[in-house]
Structure 1
Amino acid sequence: MGLAFAAMWSSAFTSARIIVASAPPLTTLAFRFLISGLIAVIIARLMKQTWHLTRAQWRATIIFGICQNGLYLGLNFVAMQWVEASLAAIIASTMPLLVALAGWLFLKDAPKPVAMVGLAAGIAGVALVMGTRLGQGVDLTGVILCLVGVLALTVATMALRGALSGGNYMMIVGLQMLIGSAFLWPFGLAFESLEVIWSPQLVAAFVYTTLVPGLAATFIWVLLVNRIGAVRAATFHFLNPFLGVAFAALLLGEQLRTSDFIGVLVIAAGILAVQLSHVVEIRKMQDKT
């Protein structure tokens, strides 16, 4: 499940880059969430699932829908009009580091020495990539939008912690997409032109991003977080820098710099150190009980 999620999630940056080159980002994303959400709700009803969720499930669903779909993906879609898919993927891959940092600052979950080293390495890797890119004329507005987006993704992930017991996972996936769609429509209609440059590539990218990263990956992520917890599930994000950069290079022909490869390696190593530190602590607690 974790490997499938990582591959699907990482490919979304490349398909999004194709979409925003020919269509308004926010309106297209709102339409995508509307389709994905309706499909998920229909599937959930066929699975005898209900939309009568618990209070904790509704809270998590609303926060997740607004923060991940509305803010994180909305800001990333807008940003990728100006920044490359590989850079957006690298920034987004820092989410597990931010989850660990948020746990430390707000939940008093002090990181162990290995995790501290991992956090430092992740920050250093991001600084290396961003410093080189900004020095070569990368659009600063797009970078800021990506950074704000990954902060919103961190909030969305933290909101899922311990809030999904009770089942109805497919229904939760569908409802949070519909919430994201409702959040994005006013912004898309108010600020964007509805002009679309139609092409087979656009249609293929839209269908793919709607069904695979949009529907399948989100469903797998919700199941994964419920099965092993947000911290351990986030371990699989250490694959995202590699896979996101690889998809962008393979399908879009983006030119990658030596500093990108070094930065990606450092970020991935930092993420892995942070997450493995948490996994070790969880296993120690399980052994004691």
Structure 2
Amino acid sequence: MRFGWQVFALGLAFCTLWSSAFTVGKFAVQVAPPLTFLAIRFGIAFLVMWAVLTVMKRGLPKDRKDLWTAIWLGILNNAAYLGLCFIAFRTTSSSMVALIASLMPLVTAALAWPVLGEGLTLRKIAGLVLGTAGAWYILWNRLGGDLQVDDPFGFGIATIGMICLACGTVLYKKRGAHADPLAMNAVQALSASVVLIPTAFLLEDVTAITFGWTFIWTQAYTAIIMTFGALLLWFALIRQAGAAAASTFHFLNPGIAMLIAWLALNETITVPDVTGLIPVAVGILMVNWPSGKKKAQAIA
């Protein structure tokens, strides 16, 4: 596979932006209850995307099947996945949550076999085993080893959130890949906000927000920069490299997320972390590496 410098630059920029969201989330939960913060974030994101769609003279999905797909994607990808991850930020390091989220391509590959009929090749099976082994090694050291630097409860709910994201990814591949991505994202943001608002009122003190610079910049970063920046970078990467090849860049996410957390939050990076990241990254790369017809399409 041949990648030009533009593809590498786009892939690195996308992975850095995606990985930075975990550190930003750690800042966010220091100034607002997690579900309350996300309800506001997705409300803002919907209004911005709806305004952009209006200016571009495009609307929300008209097809009822696409509409319901987008609603369920919002519940799975935004409300459940991010909601549980943000709750985990309260007791768990951002690098741990990022590692768990980075395992999503492995779980997606496993789910795509029975749901989408996508075959599990020997390379994909080897990647699943290798990535799982590396993740297990890191988790054992962080949760039950000598260091025990992370909280098992946070690990558990972040894992459930990651599985929700994998289910949402499979749903999108099965029912939503043909639809207007901006319109689908707008509905996702709205449905997530609608679900999170009553949940936040039920489970949290929604008045416990520390309004100030941290709240403003974390909201702006997550609601606008992540929503549009990540989306635009991802589409640009797909145009340059193809969807199958673009997905191989996900293998960089665990390491970049840990590095950002170390720089911004002074979170600990241990030798077992680095040792375990190697098989995790290689496993994700093996699972997502395009082959055969997909590979040819990715290079074209």
- For the criterion TM > 0.5, the same-fold answer is yes
- 44-53 or 247-256, larger mean C-alpha shift: 44-53
CA drift at 1:83:
0.2
Residue in 1 that maps onto 2:258: 245
Partner of 1:132: 141
Instruction: State the shift of 1:210 in Å.
Output: 1.6
Per the TM alignment, residue 16 of structure 1 is displaced from its structure 2 partner at its CA by 0.3
Q: CA, structure 1 residues 2+182, in 2 after alignment: closer, same or farther (shift >3 Å)?
A: farther
From the superposition, tell whether residues 251 and 76 of structure 1 become closer, same or farther in structure 2 (CA, over 3 Å): same
2:129·2:283 contact (CA, 8 Å) conserved in 1?
yes
Q: RMSD value over aligned CA atoms?
A: 2.4
Q: 1:182 to 1:224 in 2, by over 3 A?
A: farther
Alignment length (residue pairs): 284
| Residue identity opposite 1:140 in structure 2 | P
Q: Report the AA paired with residue 272 of structure 1.
A: L
Contact 1:169 1:223 in 2 (8 A): no
Do the aligned partners of residues 76 and 84 (structure 1) sit closer, same or farther apart at CA in structure 2, a change above 3 Å counting? same
Uncovered stretches (5+) of structure 2, i.e. residues with no partner: 1-9
| Amino acid paired to 1:64 | L
Which residue of the partner structure matches residue 188 of structure 2? 176
Distance 2:57 2:161 in 1: 34
What SS does the aligned partner of 1:160 have? helix
Q: Indicate if the aligned counterparts of 1:36 and 1:174 stay in contact, CA closer than 8 A.
A: yes
Q: 1:212 to 1:285 in 2, by over 3 A?
A: closer
Does 233-242 or 41-50 show the bigger shift? Answer: 233-242
Decide which of 260, 271, 288 is 2:273's aligned counterpart.
Answer: 260
Q: Which amino acid aligns with 2:173?
A: R
Give the Cα separation in 1 of the matches to 2:236 and 2:165. 17
TM-score normalised by L of structure 1: 0.89
Distance in 2, Cα, partners of 1:208 & 1:284: 34
SS of corresponding position for 1:274 = helix
Instruction: Determine if the alignment matches structure 1 residue 190 to structure 2 residue 202.
Output: yes
* Sequence identity percentage: 33
Question: Over residues 51-95 of structure 1, what are the superposed CA-to-partner deviations in whole Å (9 max), with x where a residue is unaligned?
Answer: 243244223311211101010000000110000000000000001
SS of alignment partner, residue 155 of structure 2: helix
Q: Which runs of 5+ in 1 are unaligned?
A: none
Once residues 235 and 40 of structure 2 are traced to their aligned partners in structure 1, the CA distance between those partners, rounded to angstroms, is 22
Mapped partners of 1:228, 1:57: distance in 2? 24
Counting only pairs closer than 5 Å after superposition, residues 1-289 of structure 1 correspond to structure 2 as 2-135=11-144, 136=148, 138-161=150-173, 163-164=175-176, 168-193=180-205, 194-218=207-231, 221=234, 228-229=242-243, 232-276=245-289, 279-283=290-294
- Give the whole-Å Cα distance in 2 for the aligned partners of 1:2 and 1:61: 26
Provide the C-alpha distance between the structure 1 equivalents of 2:80 and 2:172, rounded to a whole number of angstroms: 16
